[in-house]
Structure 1
Amino acid sequence: MDDLPPPLLLEILSRLCDSADLARCRVASKTLNSLAPEIRSVNLQCSYLRYAKSRSPPTSVFMTPFKLVFNNLISDLKTVESVSIGVEKPLRLVSYDDVEDEEDDLFLTEANFVNSWLPKVCGHLKSVSISDFWVQSCWRRSDVLSRISAYCLNLVELEIKNAWLSVDFVIPMPNLTTLTLEFIRLDDENLEKVNECFPSVQVLNLIGVGGLKDPKIHLIKLKTLCWTLSNAPMSITIIAPNLVKLKLKCVKPHVLLIETPLLSDLHLSIEGAGSFKVKELADLRKLHLESTALRNLLVMFPFGRSVKSLTVASTKWGVPVGVTKSIVELLLCAFPNVGSLTLTAGVWSEFEMYPIRGGSESKTQMKDVKEITAYLTVNDVEVTLSTIFSILDNCSNISYMAMFIHRDVVSTVTSSLIWRCMAYSSKVNWKWGMWKDGTKDAWICDSI
């Protein structure tokens, strides 16, 4: 390898995902060691094995402290543009209830540790990612945000996970465009400080951020928002005039206020809301709607005519007494211009119980539907076939059907279902696949 040109060797070193591998390369080769200071990124993750060895008396004396390893790596680099430090996923899943750890060797948002390396490399930093060890960080409040905002004037991307954060003394970061806070405890009852100090954020990910009672996002430049709330706030407010993509998962809030006029892609997972306050979404084209009370939620929707691609999911469904319309007919009433429709297993099961009744009204409702994707459990193959045939009979313009059959369905039933559907309609482009919770969908075959 020493015979390779230095630029190529440097490119190889730059592509190493783990800085621990970089350290091994430096020990193995004088040439690689001489080039290593030119690397512009550090990525060091503590494994569960390393953590276990550091806690075991026979091996702990031979383990270099994780923070010291990181400091040694970063101190040798001339210019640092990206820093990622944290614990690997198996270690992140360790619960405080499972192990009480009074140490701070993996408390990575701790002020003294951050001060030991950040001021030295902050000048060129563009990206910082810190994934803390929750067992050590959950009961220690960190002011890492104020340190980063004070030093990293050119930072573009910031990610912090598994920490108890303070927003005291955080100063505005006008260059930051991507912010991720995941499994974070905040003292504040709202997000006003985030709105104030990160005015240029275009991509915002808030995953499991707790301690919020009436959270409000008000960011003028925001384009993409992924927001998963771990508690049940009284109200949720999103004001973002340039937002294009929104993924929101929450429990039943009393009020949901959305002011996002340019929104085109919405993924909403919600049990329901006491009140929807949504200004017109004229550009909404793609909608993923998930709810345990889907029928009740649909009647509350104040928009829907612009939606072209619709996915609906329900993990719990109950049909009101005296139901007169199938779930598909109800969906197409709320979203009359849908061309592509995806029904997950819970919704399809309800559809099988209450299929399309037929008639001119149903055919008018479904004339724009061209593509349907469905996830089938096939409890009764004749019922499933009857439901599929009712779609074909009422959707005069349908040209594509993708049917995913549960992996537990016996192969003879699957084969019979496929053959009879393709025989019923040869004009449709059929695609067949398999699904099961926790596994990746797999294609079986296409129509011939």
Structure 2
Amino acid sequence: MEDLPPSLVTEILSRLNDSADLVRCRLVSKTLNEMSYEVRSLNHLCSLSSYLISRSRGANPPQAMTFKIIFKDLVRRLSKLDSVSIAVEKSLGRRSYDEVEDDDDDLYLTEPSFLKDWLPEIGGGLRSISICDFWSQSSWRKSEALPLISSFCSNLLKLELKNTWLSVDGLNCMPKLTNLTLEFLRLDDEDLNKVNECFPGLKVLNLVGVGGLKEPKIDLKNLKICYWTISNAPLSITILAPSLVELKLECIRPRSLVLETPSLSDLHLTIENADHLKVKEFTCLKSLQLESWNLFSLMGKFGSSRAVKILALNIPKHNQDATPKLSIEILYDSFPNLSSLTLGPGAWSEMEASFCSGGLDGRVEMNGLKEITAYLSIDEMDNTLSFISSMLNRCSNLSNMAVLIHGIVGSRLASKFVSKIRTDLPRLRWRWGFWKEGEKDCWVSAFI
């Protein structure tokens, strides 16, 4: 490694996932020791094992404070830092209050006094900060982390704050910030309004599991990409983002959902009920993924979307006793120019049930469709085969079909199904696999 160019050695050391590895490298050789002080990125991680050792019976009290002390010592010695990440390991963050019984502040990483010990010294040169706090210590007291960062890090481009309760009192405008992630933390509506006001240059915004919001509004004219998951049921959700091109929104049952995003081209929407969804026409929308307990109603909110080429549909929990409303006819009335279609297990089951109750309208032609991905359960093999055959007979340009069979289906039945469908429909290229709730899809063949 000593024969490598110094710039490459520095790049490698800057990519280490844990500062402990950086310290170990200093012991290997004089060259690595010298290069270790040139790194631009520092990742400081408190592991579960380190935490347990510090809390073990007989541990000296000073040991509990070493994580913060080591970090402050490291950053003061690294003069060229432009990226800092400090975090507790995920497995430690998931431990319950009863398991940790912890009201100290040794891992309270957004503690104002801790931030004041190092931010003023290096904050001006930082381009990226990521802090993943220890929820057991951070959740019950407000942190001034955001105002402090805005005071000392005027050149920051990317900011991630996780597992804490934030205050926005005294937050300064940060026009250079383009990428913001707030994850599993507490905010109020007025706090989110302050974020809109103080981060006008945001292009990427991730809000994951942010609690406390009742009528949240995102109003950012430069925003391009947004990922927003809302675990509670707010009264209303509003997104005003004229430049937004990609949106992933997961929410439960808002009374009102307003999307004013005319440039949107990629939308992934998961919502329990969409009775009060208000959308302006998406003339640029090319890719659409919809997941809802009332998928039929949700699809109706989009009218006839001729721009959509890629469509994925699913119903999280399909009600076998409900009257099927979703059908291929309705799908193609809404999205007549599809080239790619993915049907999750709930959507496929409802469409198959609709077909079995009334057949398939002979006028349906899906000539633009080139590929289909289907998640099947195969309750009645003859019905499933008949539905596939009838649907594909109306897809003159279809070339690829991928079929994933539920893992509970017996191997003998699955093999029989695969053999039968390949014999009956030999013109297509098929791909096979298995799916199961909560697990990654398992593909067993490529397109053949």
Please give the TM-score of this superposition, normalised by the length of structure 1: 0.94
Q: Is the 8 A contact 2:329 2:361 kept in 1?
A: no
Q: Deviations over 1:102-130 (max 9, x none)?
A: 11011000000001111111121000000
Write the distance in 2 (CA, Å) between the matches of 1:53 and 1:320.
55
1:185 aligns with 2:186: yes
Letter in structure 1 aligned against 2:372: I
Instruction: Give the RMSD, CA atoms, in angstroms.
Output: 2.0
- In structure 1, the partner of 2:425 is 425
Q: Is the 8 A contact 2:289 2:313 kept in 1?
A: yes
Structure 1 residues 252 and 189: alpha-carbon distance in aligned structure 2, compared to 1, 3 A threshold: farther
Q: Is the 8 A contact 1:294 1:317 kept in 2?
A: no
- In structure 2, the partner of 1:93 is 94
Q: Is the 8 A contact 1:96 1:134 kept in 2?
A: no
Q: Is the 8 A contact 2:207 2:229 kept in 1?
A: yes
Shift of 1:321: 6.8
Larger mean Cα displacement after TM superposition, 369-378 or 201-210: 369-378
- In structure 1, the partner of 2:142 is 141
- In structure 2, the partner of 1:360 is 362
Counterpart secondary structure, 2:373? strand
Q: Is the 8 A contact 2:304 2:333 kept in 1?
A: no
Q: Deviations over 1:390-412 (max 9, x none)?
A: 22223233221110112332222
Q: Is the 8 A contact 2:400 2:447 kept in 1?
A: no
Letter in structure 2 aligned against 1:377: S
Q: Deviations over 1:222-251 (max 9, x none)?
A: 000001112111111111110000000111
Q: Deviations over 1:30-64 (max 9, x none)?
A: 33222211111110111111111111123456846
- Which sections of structure 1, spanning at least 5 residues, go unmatched? none
- In structure 2, the partner of 1:289 is 290
- Which sections of structure 2, spanning at least 5 residues, go unmatched? none
Shift of 1:87: 0.7
Write the distance in 2 (CA, Å) between the matches of 1:208 and 1:444.
35
- In structure 1, the partner of 2:204 is 203
Structure 1 residues 275 and 34: alpha-carbon distance in aligned structure 2, compared to 1, 3 A threshold: same
Counterpart secondary structure, 1:141? coil
Counterpart secondary structure, 2:445? strand
Counterpart secondary structure, 2:393? helix
Percent sequence identity over matched residues?
51
Write the distance in 1 (CA, Å) between the matches of 2:381 and 2:249.
36
Q: Deviations over 1:297-326 (max 9, x none)?
A: 223334622211110111123479765x65
Shift of 1:2: 4.7
Q: Deviations over 1:245-282 (max 9, x none)?
A: 00001111111111111100000000113422211210
Structure 1 residues 307 and 95: alpha-carbon distance in aligned structure 2, compared to 1, 3 A threshold: same
1:337 aligns with 2:337: yes
Write the distance in 2 (CA, Å) between the matches of 1:159 and 1:326.
41
Shift of 1:379: 2.7
Write the distance in 1 (CA, Å) between the matches of 2:95 and 2:304.
43
Q: How many residue pairs get matched?
A: 445
Q: Is the 8 A contact 2:434 2:443 kept in 1?
A: yes
Q: Is the 8 A contact 1:422 1:447 kept in 2?
A: no
Letter in structure 2 aligned against 1:278: V
Structure 1 residues 319 and 304: alpha-carbon distance in aligned structure 2, compared to 1, 3 A threshold: farther
Letter in structure 2 aligned against 1:436: K
Write the distance in 2 (CA, Å) between the matches of 1:108 and 1:80.
19
Map 1:321-332 to 2 at 5 A.
326-332=326-332
Structure 1 residues 183 and 351: alpha-carbon distance in aligned structure 2, compared to 1, 3 A threshold: same
- In structure 1, the partner of 2:260 is 259
Write the distance in 2 (CA, Å) between the matches of 1:214 and 1:405.
41
Q: Is the 8 A contact 2:274 2:297 kept in 1?
A: no
- In structure 2, the partner of 1:370 is 370
Larger mean Cα displacement after TM superposition, 97-106 or 283-292: 97-106
- In structure 2, the partner of 1:385 is 385
Shift of 1:439: 2.5
- In structure 1, the partner of 2:239 is 238
Letter in structure 2 aligned against 1:65: T
Write the distance in 1 (CA, Å) between the matches of 2:191 and 2:275.
20
Shift of 1:6: 3.8
Q: Is the 8 A contact 1:220 1:241 kept in 2?
A: yes
Write the distance in 2 (CA, Å) between the matches of 1:396 and 1:248.
34
Shift of 1:387: 2.1
- In structure 2, the partner of 1:403 is 403
Write the distance in 2 (CA, Å) between the matches of 1:249 and 1:197.
25
Counterpart secondary structure, 1:58? coil
